Amino acid sequence: MGTSVASGDDPYVLTADGVKEPPKGWKSSLRYLGPGLIVSASIVGSGELIATTALGAEVGFALLWMVILSTAVKVAVQAELARWTIITGKPALTGFNQVPPKIGRVGWINLLWMIMALSKLLQVGGIVGGTAVAMSLLIPVGGEPLGATSLTVWTIIIVVGSIALLYSNNYNLIERGAFALVAVFSVATVVIALGLPFTPFGYSGGDLLSGLTFTIPVGAIGAAVAMFGITGVGADEITFYTYWCVEKGYARWVGPNDGSEAWQNRAQGWIKVMYKDVFLSWVIYTFSTLAFYLMGAAVLNPQGLVLKGNEMITTLSQMYTDVIGEWAAVAFLIGAIAVLGSTLWAAIPSWARMYVNVLAELGIMDWKDARSRQKWIRGFTVALPILWGAAYLFVNSPVVMVQIGGIMTGIFLPAVVIATWYLRNTQVDKRLHGSKAFNTLLVISSIAISLLGVYSLLSVFGVSFD
């Protein structure tokens, strides 16, 4: 899955000599998949390990249906926005800035994005913190595990290490690293979740059916909404997926729109490849999400264990030690580092690109200048991990930090829906619109996401439905 455009070509510039005929069928398409793996690396992390497990621990099996819905319902919007990107060669925030009204050079959606980006300093800071906690438990430095010195040292090591590994900004490196990190923990977690029925913390078919009744327990709406906002593809993943579709080469291989039938056929072919990429990533993060939720519901909930502060990782490790034995604590910590690390691995280069794109829309730099774009992206690759690490050391509560980001993601999602429909109706050739089945799913997806945004916005102003 490492195929991408040649390093000497700028994937954001569409030229006639960059076109490539799309593969047909799954087998020949596999080597052209990859952007979804980066999205999966981002998703199979904080949402699953923290928010989903916390919800399972809090309400048991009751919201199993919400887990499935939260991963499935946003996929159509993700694919539709990616369709626009493949056709135009433009990344999401360039498109968002074209949606009226605008305040000066900045569109209203990009203003909302800036607010979300500030909240994400806390959320991704929580990921840095969770990773530091796991490392501190595994290898304490300068004192007791979870001591201030140990946590500070590991936070610095994680920040510096992330910068060193990702500074090259190489697409193939990012894709392959994402694949490895996702594979390690997803497989282990799914296997353990499927094995729970053979342990003292087993669950029955009746437990699973009780979680498919489309009800929400009293007092759990807030946690359910945060989980809905953060699991599956969130507003940030839907947005940055477009950058990876371009950098993989999909848009360049389609080429500039010359109105020809050949162009239309290439576009349709590469859009079908993108569908396969989206579907594969959906399978990965849906099974992982279900596995984490089942473990929270089956292991933590009966014991009354709740995820709080820096003890979060210790509590989560009990899912494994209680099922497999004490030796599994080390295996879990290594896995937790992999799953949280995968989020960081995807988040750093993705957010760096989005920040630079916003600056370009503000007129601060030229997005079309590949050398300048690379320089700015590397600058944010250094700055963002430092800011995230500092945010964790200041707030020092990974669960709360992640949930704040989840709420803000939920608020931003309706704006992404509006932008997606605007760009679809104004810039996507009608010949390249999706099938009737896809369009029906897109409508359902858009309505569900918009309702989530309304709820999230009302909750910010203190309106409670519990």
Range of the domain at 303: 16-460
Decide if 5 is inside a domain: no
The residue type of 155 is T
In sequence order, the 6+-apart residues with CB closer than 8 A to the CB of 74 are 232, 233, 234, 238, 413, 445, 449
**Mean pLDDT on 204-221:** 79
Indicate if the pLDDT at residue 399 is higher than 70.
no
| CATH code, domain with 39 | 1.20.1740.10
Q: To which residue do tokens 């937790």 refer?
A: 336
Q: What is the pLDDT of residue 398?
A: 63
Q: Which of 169-173, 188-192, 236-240, 299-303 has the lowest mean pLDDT?
A: 188-192
Decide if 10 is inside a domain: no
What is the per-residue pLDDT across 60-115, written as a single tens digit (0 to 9) for each? 888 888 888 878 888 999 999 999 999 999 999 999 999 999 988 999 999 989 98
Higher pLDDT, 22 or 7: 22
Decide if 387 is inside a domain: yes
Q: Which of 9-18, 214-223, 292-301 has the lowest mean pLDDT?
A: 214-223
Decide if 466 is inside a domain: no
Give φ, ψ of 106 to 5 degrees.
Answer: -105, 130
- What's the half-sphere exposure (Cβ side, CA atoms, 13 Å) at 310? 18
Q: What is the DSSP string of 310-368?
A: GGHHHHHHHHHHTTT-TTHHHHHHHHHHHHHHHHHHHHHHHHHHHHHHHHHHTTSS-TT
Q: Are 57 and 202 in contact, with CB atoms under 8 Å apart?
A: no
Q: To which residue do tokens 């964790």 refer?
A: 392
Highest mean pLDDT among 46-50, 101-105, 371-375: 371-375
Q: What is the pLDDT of residue 215?
A: 76
Q: What is the pLDDT of residue 7?
A: 44
Considering its fold, how many domains does the chain have in total? Answer: 1
Q: What is the pLDDT of residue 256?
A: 95
**Mean pLDDT on 254-264:** 93
Decide if 262 is inside a domain: yes
Q: What is the pLDDT of residue 412?
A: 85
Indicate if the pLDDT at residue 389 is higher than 60.
yes
Indicate if the pLDDT at residue 39 is higher than 70.
yes
Q: What is the pLDDT of residue 53?
A: 79
Decide if 245 is inside a domain: yes
Indicate if the pLDDT at residue 466 is higher than 70.
no
Decide if 2 is inside a domain: no
- What's the half-sphere exposure (Cβ side, CA atoms, 13 Å) at 371? 0
Q: Which of 201-215, 256-270, 316-330 has the lowest mean pLDDT?
A: 316-330
Q: Are 379 and 24 in contact, with CB atoms under 8 Å apart?
A: no
Share of the chain above pLDDT 90, in %: 42
Q: What is the pLDDT of residue 250?
A: 97
What is the per-residue pLDDT across 415-459, written as a single tens digit (0 to 9) for each? 999 999 999 999 998 889 989 999 999 999 898 888 877 776 676
The mean predicted confidence, pLDDT, of the chain is 84
Indicate if the pLDDT at residue 211 is higher than 70.
yes
At residue 339 the predicted structure's pLDDT band, cuts being 50, 70 and 90, is: confident
Decide if 283 is inside a domain: yes
